[in-house]
């Protein structure tokens, strides 16, 4: 995911950048928001690459999709 690369690059200059993932679960009444803190960006990018297909559907849980991703930068 390109936003992970952007966030990792940003963190080399400014600590605190996070990634926000929006995940759709088939039976949940609303979206889930997952916040990935700066120290976990590399791990989470590798996890997503292994766990989600190119269309961002979970490989092992049908109907689970990442539908959004935002870079959250600290306010300064």
Domain ranges of the chain: 2-72
Q: Are 21 and 33 in contact (CB under 8 A)?
A: yes
DSSP 38: G
Rounded Cα distance, 45 and 76, in Å: 26
pTM above 0.85, yes or no: no
Digit-coded pLDDT (tens) for 44-76: 989 999 999 999 999 999 999 999 988 887 776
């Amino acid at each position: 995911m390109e936003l992970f690369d952007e966030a990792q690059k940003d963190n080399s200059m400014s600590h605190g950048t996070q990634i926000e993932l929006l995940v759709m679960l088939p039976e949940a009444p609303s979206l889930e928001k997952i916040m990935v803190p700066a120290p976990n960006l590399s791990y989470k990018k590798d996890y997503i690459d292994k766990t989600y297909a190119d269309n961002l559907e979970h490989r092992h849980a049908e109907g689970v999709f990442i539908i959004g991703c935002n870079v959250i930068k600290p306010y300064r």
